[in-house]
Amino acid sequence: MSRYIPLSIPNFEGNERKYVDDAIDKAWVSTAGSYVTELEKRLAQFLCIDNVSVCQSGTSALHLALVEAGVVPGDIVLVPPLTFIAAVNPVRYQFATPLFIDCDDSLCMDSEKLRRFCQEKCVMENGHLTHNGKIVRALVAVHVFGNMADMETIMEVAGRYNIRVIEDATEALGTRYTKGTYSGKYAGTIGDFGAYSFNGNKIITTGGGGAITAKKPETVDHLRYLSTQAKDDPHFYIHNEVGYNYRMTNLQAALGVAQMEKLTEFIERKHRNFDLYKKLFHGFGLGKLLPYREGTYSNQWFYSLIIDRTKVKAALKEIIAGLQEYGVETRAVWGLINEQLPYMKEECFELEKGPYYGARVLNIPASTQLTEDDIYFAAEKIKAVLEELKE
Ligand SMILES: *Cc1c(COP(=O)(O)O)cnc(C)c1O
């Protein structure tokens, strides 16, 4: 059989089966169940925080964050153009308006452009930053591919202009600062809210699932309440707010607890694999690996090869198809969100790096199961295809 290297697949080498079987044996499969609270406990421990609430998806975590941040119809929420669209859709669930701020060379929000947008395009009115009369209520900072956004500047700017910071850490569970103001702090625990995802291709998975945290533990309690239909009395069905059916199930959480036991090891494997890729692409003229931010320890969830467009002009589609024939699955970075049909008419601020990287970033195989041999194979084929397509 010919060899095939997938881009990113889940890894169930641990206690997954045992815990899921246990949940089934005990017939605790719904949202009440000991694995749900156990997963919350382990996440909080890992992230060095007091309170985390698990939910059905990263998207639902982001939606809850926007609700709790007080985003109401007509508000503006600052969002990135180059990421997975789930980071932006919940803004529309609240009937608010997304406004796109460019990314920097880490693919995360450009903090200096954020500062300039606030300074030059907005005014303070009654304690709120406004743009064309609309309140800029919140921003969504995505830690793209496990790379930490520049939280130092983002927090400073957001503080000055009274903007709530929602960290989309769906791709960055385990990424943390090792230097500076936030040394020791994990992605998702710095802003007002942090959202995580356990979708099938994330660093750990529960099939589908997510988690949310907030600065104050009481806020997380309220988020948990909102995620369980805002039930105020379990026996008499009293509900004093509009809630959601966003709680994680015990079956998902059973998987999650087993995955948490492997998280540190998964991150170490991602590092080992990235280091080998780095060695193999060293001195290669047609593409470079995107580094992770200095002063951080990234979970290195996904690897990005930046194609040199002065030498390789072929579309990403062509490169991906070429590699597919060699048995190596790769992926183009996302299509720009501001160019998608539902968002084409929204305002953008100085988009330049977003489109630049959008046309150049190729994601290469990054599963935790990859062997050294797989990586040699993948790197060799990637180089070969780029050489073939060189002008
Ligand atoms: C995966 C992802 C999400 C959404 O998570 P789901 O659990 O799939 O809902 C949101 N934002 C980004 C950047 C993601 O990569």
Closest ligand 1 atom to residue 202 Cα is: 1
Q: Residue 1: is its pLDDT beyond 60?
A: no
Q: What is the mean pLDDT of residues 363-375?
A: 97
Tell me, yes or no, if the pTM score tops 0.85. yes
The answer for residues whose C-beta is within 8 angstroms of residue 230's C-beta and 6 or more apart is 239, 240, 241, 242, 243
Regarding the beta carbon of 147 and ligand 1, being less than 6 Å apart is answered no
- In terms of Cβ atoms closer than 10 Å to its own Cβ (0-12, 13-18, 19+), residue 8 is buried
Regarding the beta carbon of 322 and ligand 1, being less than 6 Å apart is answered no
Q: Residue 136: is its pLDDT beyond 70?
A: yes
Closest ligand 1 atom to residue 201 Cα is: 1
The answer for residues whose C-beta is within 8 angstroms of residue 55's C-beta and 6 or more apart is 61, 64, 209, 210, 211, 212, 227, 246, 247, 248
Taking CA atoms, 83 is separated from 54, 78, 298, 355, in Å, by 23, 13, 17, 11
pLDDT in tens, 277-311: 999 999 999 999 999 999 999 999 999 999 999 99
Closest ligand 1 atom to residue 87 Cα is: 11
Regarding the beta carbon of 171 and ligand 1, being less than 6 Å apart is answered yes
> Mind giving me the DSSP string for 299-367?
---SEEEEE-TTTB-S-HHHHHHHHHHTTB--EEPPPPGGGSGGGTTS-EE---HHHHHHTTEEEE---
Residue 210 CA to ligand 1 center (angstroms) comes to: 9
Regarding the beta carbon of 108 and ligand 1, being less than 6 Å apart is answered no
Q: Distance between CA 272 and CA 287 in Å, rounded?
A: 20
Residue 49 CA to ligand 1 center (angstroms) comes to: 22
Domains of the chain (ranges, CATH numbers): 16-260 (3.40.640.10), 263-389 (3.90.1150.10)
Regarding the beta carbon of 148 and ligand 1, being less than 6 Å apart is answered no
Q: Residue 39: is its pLDDT beyond 80?
A: yes
CA end-to-end span of the chain: 33
Q: Residue 265: is its pLDDT beyond 90?
A: yes
Return the residue whose CA atom lies nearest to atom 4 of ligand 1.
Answer: 58
For 174, which DSSP code? Answer: T
Q: Distance between CA 119 and CA 270 in Å, rounded?
A: 39
pLDDT in tens, 192-241: 999 999 999 999 999 999 999 999 999 999 999 999 999 998 789 999 99
Residue 86 CA to ligand 1 center (angstroms) comes to: 6
